[in-house]
Structure 1
């Protein structure tokens, strides 16, 4: 007698039709990467960001709520000035937290890098219309080359630049302003004891203006004069180093009163450097408006550096047609061109 199992020749020993299939514990719908479009989601304006929490002004209710980024946006991130779509809890309940699920199309984007060699761009502000470059005429001393960098970033972002000179009660700004005499940008002179509010009101009305400047130039003081409810922290200048102390530590969008026609100002922390690794070369050249007419006459392959043969900038300097500050302006432009050219090769390109 054999104890070996012998299957029926007519039976398929691989048949598993009677195996019980366990149901999908998460439901019967197949998983998909397609996200909801949130077409009817309420829209809000990002006013500030603190440790992953966004302060958002609901456009429909004029009420501020807290929100976090939805999973699909965590790599991209949102910036102050962004208009965003919201989902989740937007109620008035204490501790409520909404989700930012979409960033509306941007009209402008102001960026900077840590330096000209940094391939990582840092988004500062979205949807601004103009940039107010705040400079102290003394204490601390103004830096023309930092202003040139701000101007290049403004033109690259499509922002209208405004030059605001503070502390004019401490020194005469005429000699400094001669460096920018060839630029057709508005200039506002502001005294510490008498802020130039009427002139600024005319320029800021109906606009979204991002305020930038070196630490200690009086930027936050000026913001508080324009919007007393802002209560931005202010500080002085270190008497040993001559450098300003950082007071504003984050970017904030501040709504101006009805006298400004729904205008907004966006205050940013003071910086001592402003990298332009992201700026296109043509936008850099156009930011030197006073030199642009000369640059256009250069040979087609001219790189506009001091080593470039037949550069029209050298001819203009020799002829003295650029004015007393012309040589300094050309030197500033060439320094920026050289710095960006040295770091134009990015990994993977």
Structure 2
């Protein structure tokens, strides 16, 4: 250090501290093994925080930096370190996501290339559909069936609001599939449904307003899932559940998901969409290569079966709408007309 006349200070290069680029610690590709991590299950996700159950203790965790941008969803089995006491204001870290046994996915619409994982490690998909208020939505049910078969989940059709309309028409549509179902009214005994859910991990999906969260609340009264009502003008419900939540139930899990108005299938190959229609797929094997299965498709075996009366007209129409919607054509369910008495 040197000084100027009058006692002032003059700095030279020896007085300047130079910061090492990239920090003083060299980077390494090694990652901690976290050999003492404990396994847990993700039961809810909320703005970057993961609620997990670790040895029956509810723990809040964040994602470790080394996991990168990969998603963690409800149903994931994960390994955690840090404070696993579950006390208020404590935070653990998710350091590993274990291999998933199943993945239920959807896209925003049929032309959206970005798929979204909804739930992991489920084995059953409960498709909740109202018989009235709002009107039944067989197109939505068909979409969910395709997604269930693609994910390896067993579907279960839950027809709600049986006090308002007969289930016969909807049951007739899906009878050829041998699809398991439950018809449910507001005061109806749920023992049959409970038996189908016991010991399994079941995801509940449905459009807004069909009574999905109401049904979950009846099955698990402590859940206190928010419920809404149907708009008398649009015939559509209001979103009430804002995030998926896993609830323990009779040796298994119920996973309630937010109500959706669309269930995009852009992530599923067209041949796999046809395979999701089990009653039509057996005829599709005789179609020429790259058959579109549309009405004007030459040599389409499904069209021939339709002319012979061997397949259901509505099912063929639903398949054709699903396939055409991948090209950007509209496949939305028409809104139910408003009841003039309301």
Structure 1 and Structure 2 fold alike (TM over 0.5) = yes
Matched, 1:134 2:132: no
State the Cα RMSD in Å: 2.1
**Which moves more between the two structures, 136-145 or 238-247?**
238-247
Normalization by structure 2: what TM-score?
0.86
Give the paired residue count.
312
Matched, 1:193 2:187: yes
Matched, 1:76 2:59: no
Distance 2:73 2:176 in 1: 34
**Contact 1:168/1:189 (<8 A) preserved:** yes
**Which moves more between the two structures, 154-163 or 89-98?**
89-98
**Contact 2:57/2:85 (<8 A) preserved:** no
Q: 1:342 to 1:37 in 2, by over 3 A?
A: farther
Match of 2:49 among 46, 49, 53: 53
* Structure 1: gaps of 5 or more residues: 1-21, 344-349
Distance 2:145 2:301 in 1: 22
Residue in 2 that maps onto 1:3: none
Residue in 1 that maps onto 2:92: 98
Residue in 2 that maps onto 1:279: 268
Structure 1 residue 26 displacement after superposition: 6.9
**Which moves more between the two structures, 326-335 or 90-99?**
90-99
Normalization by structure 1: what TM-score?
0.85
Bigger Rg over Cα: 1
**Contact 2:78/2:98 (<8 A) preserved:** yes
Q: 1:171 to 1:23 in 2, by over 3 A?
A: closer
Residue in 1 that maps onto 2:335: none
Structure 1 residue 340 displacement after superposition: 2.5
Distance 1:200 1:35 in 2: 46
Residue in 2 that maps onto 1:226: 219
Distance 1:25 1:186 in 2: 60
Residue in 2 that maps onto 1:151: 145
Residue in 1 that maps onto 2:319: 333
Distance 2:22 2:291 in 1: 68
**Contact 2:57/2:86 (<8 A) preserved:** no
**Contact 1:224/1:231 (<8 A) preserved:** yes
Task: Please give the per-residue CA displacement for 1:4-38, whole angstroms capped at 9, x wherever unaligned.
Answer: xxxxxxxxxxxxxxxxxx999977x7420221122
Q: 1:143 to 1:299 in 2, by over 3 A?
A: same
Task: Please give the per-residue CA displacement for 1:105-153, whole angstroms capped at 9, x wherever unaligned.
Answer: 0000111111111111111100000100000000000111111111111
Alignment of 1:279-318 (within 5 A): 279-318=268-307
Residue in 2 that maps onto 1:263: 252
**Contact 2:44/2:246 (<8 A) preserved:** yes
